[in-house]
Structure 1
Amino acid sequence: MKLHPIEAGNFKLDGGAMFGVVPKSLWTRTNPADSNNMIDIAARCLLIENGNRLTLIDTGMGNKQSDKFFGYYFPWGDYSLDSSLKKAGFHRDDVTDVFMTHLHFDHCGGSVQWNKDKTGYEPAFKNAKFWSNKNHWDWATNPNRREKASFLKENILPMQESGQLNFINSATSSISEENNTHDFLANTPLDFGTFFADGHTEKQMLPVIQYKGKKLVFMADLLPTTGHLPLPFVMGYDTRPLLTMPEKEKFLNAAADNNYYLFLEHDAHNEIITVKHTEKGVRLDQTYTFDELFN
């Protein structure tokens, strides 16, 4: 097995939305804002090369949306999904599986593209199976008003219409409901297990990968950045913030106890971190680049 970080493109989001009720004077210590109150955000995906299988975890925003749409998110930097795949030695047609942690546009938008004459949409990975879970799919295709702007039908429905959509069995319980921190890992048909979490959105999936003697967890939106380590630092985007906190607490305690390596999808300046127990709760221990840790 070989892993490749895939940078799908940086953007910016409102710092207040990213930290909910936490005062700006606190969250700017770790996530400084620009003059528009926007903070740096990454769309850091992960490619798993294992035998004949090439699995991409999340796909970023993609590029099919309008200039008006992207004007809300201030794209910056030179990263793109295609250039990052090329750097790793691959093309999107080589990808056999696309695993989506959840179906918010910044995690799955790159899974679907315009067709050649821009009359409709088609899967951006023509040879891949797309993986979600039934609970989350139903949640995303019948969205509540709070999340409707994040679940864009053009990002989602073409996966099903193409016949390429597959479901992973949903866990009967999620992180916060388990008593034993070793028991909330569910198996998948792919090369990794997954944690299910419901605070951000229904049945978000966090891949857990055994790699070179380390347990690497793809954090998606349970822990967007290092600045979100304190339990009350919860995104305004979370549908169940009071559930996010016990999920984070359970997971971060397990991460500190068992030396998990946390792969951060949205932290533009920190790729991988470890955490430790302190008097204030679980906090940052070490930061690593992927190359420092694995190459």
Structure 2
Amino acid sequence: MNLYSIDTGFFKLDGGAMFGVVPKSLWQRTNPADANNLCTWATRLLLIEQGSRLTLVDTGLGDKQDDKFFSHYYLHGNDTLDGSLKKHGFHRDDITDVILTHLHFDHCGGAIIREGDLLSPAFKNAEFWSNEKHWDWAVNPNPREKASFLKENILPISESGQLKFIDENNPVYDSDIFMRFANGHTEAMMLPQMKYKDKTILYMADLLPSVGHIPIPYVMGYDVRPLVTMQERQDYWKEIVDNEYILFLEHDAEHECCTLQYTEKGIRLKDTFKLSDI
């Protein structure tokens, strides 16, 4: 197995929304905001090369929305999905599988492209993996998440015939990768876990957006069940430290990977490093 970090650029979100009830005086120490209270976040994906299978985890925001939509998120940076794939010797048509941790627009927007009036999969040779519970949640959105579940990002996947579901009762993707689940941020968010160079890598999606979110109460205002998120984090964090997992960070603007440790203040950051350093 080979793993590659795929950078697709940066965007901005309100710092208060990203840290919920935590005061700005605390969260700005790790995630400083600009004059508009916006913090910078990455859209960092993971590419898994394993035999003839080339799997991309999440797809970033994509570029098919209109200027008004993107004006809210201040996309910036020089990295693109195609450019990052090319840097590692790949093309989007080489992708055989796309795992969508969940269907919020910043995680699945790049799954679909717009060509004129036609919406079609951006990865024409790939199967797209979700799970039935989350798919049903996303296509029948609640008012809180409706603005994050955009039909143009979701329905064309099903209409293409390329949609597949992971069985939550037997969430094995292949011999070295299986799905973990979290239900606080959104229903049945998937966290791919894999063995790599005798290490365990856990893709954190929105359970841990950045190293600034490590303290248990630092829960995003976007989470639909914040108390569930806190319990999930408490359980996962203990497992992560006890088993020395490496965490892959999708949204941290500076850090690709991290480890955790026990401290007098609870579980906190141990180390940060690049995926290529493993």
SS in 2 for 1:166: strand
Using the TM superposition, give the Cα deviation of residue 22 of structure 1 relative to its aligned residue in structure 2, in angstroms. 0.5
What is the alpha-carbon distance in structure 1 between the residues aligned to residue 4 and residue 10 of structure 2?
17
Match of 2:236 among 244, 251, 256: 251
Question: Within 5 A, what are the aligned runs for 1:103-252?
Answer: 103-115=103-115, 118-171=116-169, 186-189=171-174, 191-252=176-237
Closer, same or farther: CA 190–14 of 1 in aligned 2, 3 Å: farther
What are the Cα deviations for residues 46-75 of structure 1, in whole angstroms up to 9, with x where unaligned? 001111100000000000011111111111
Distance (whole Å) between structure 1 residues aligned to residue 161 and residue 89 of structure 2: 27
- In the TM superposition, what is the alpha-carbon distance from 1:137 to its structure 2 partner? 0.2
Q: Secondary structure at the residue paired with 1:247? A: helix
Residue 261 of structure 1 pairs with residue 259 of structure 2: no
Instruction: Tell me which residue corresponds to 1:59.
Output: 59
Equivalent residue number for residue 35 of structure 1? 35
SS in 1 for 2:172: coil
TM-score by length of 2: 0.98
Secondary structure of the residue that 1:10 maps to in structure 2? strand
Following the alignment from structure 2 to structure 1, what is the Cα–Cα distance between the partners of residues 266 and 169? 28
Q: Deviations over 1:4-62 (max 9, x none)?
A: 11012211111000000110000001101111111110011000111110000000000
SS of equivalent to 1:268: coil
Alpha-carbon distance, 1:209 to partner: 1.1
Give the distance between the partners of 1:76 and 1:86, measured in 2 at CA.
19
What is the number of residues matched between the two proteins?
278
Name the structure 2 match of 1:273.
258
1:88-124 deviation digits (Å, cap 9, x = unpaired): 1111000000000000000000000012xx1120000
**SS at 1:188's partner residue?**
strand
* C-alpha separation in 2, matches of 1:21 and 1:168: 34
Secondary structure of the residue that 2:173 maps to in structure 1?
coil
Unaligned runs of 5+ in 2: none
Unaligned 5+ segments in structure 1 are 173-185
Q: Report the Cα distance in structure 2 between the residues aligned to 1:292 and 1:282, rounded to whole angstroms.
A: 23
Q: Does structure 1 retain, via aligned residues, the 8 Å contact 2:176–2:195? A: no
Give % identity: 60
- Which structure has more strand as a fraction of its residues? 2
Structure 1 Cα separation of the partners of residues 276 and 168 of structure 2: 33
Aligned mates of 1:199, 1:48 — CA distance in 2 = 26
Per mean C-alpha deviation after superposition, the further-off stretch among 187-196 and 58-67 is: 187-196
Deviation at 1:187, TM superposition (A): 2.2
Structure 1 runs of 4+ with >6 Å offset: none
Match in the other structure for 2:12:
12
Displacement of 1:189 = 4.4
Contact 2:105 2:148 in 1 (8 A): yes
| TM-score after normalising by structure 1 | 0.92
Could you tell me which amino acid in structure 2 is paired with residue 2 of structure 1?
N
Aligned to 2:99: 99
CA contact (8 A) 2:103 2:138 kept: yes
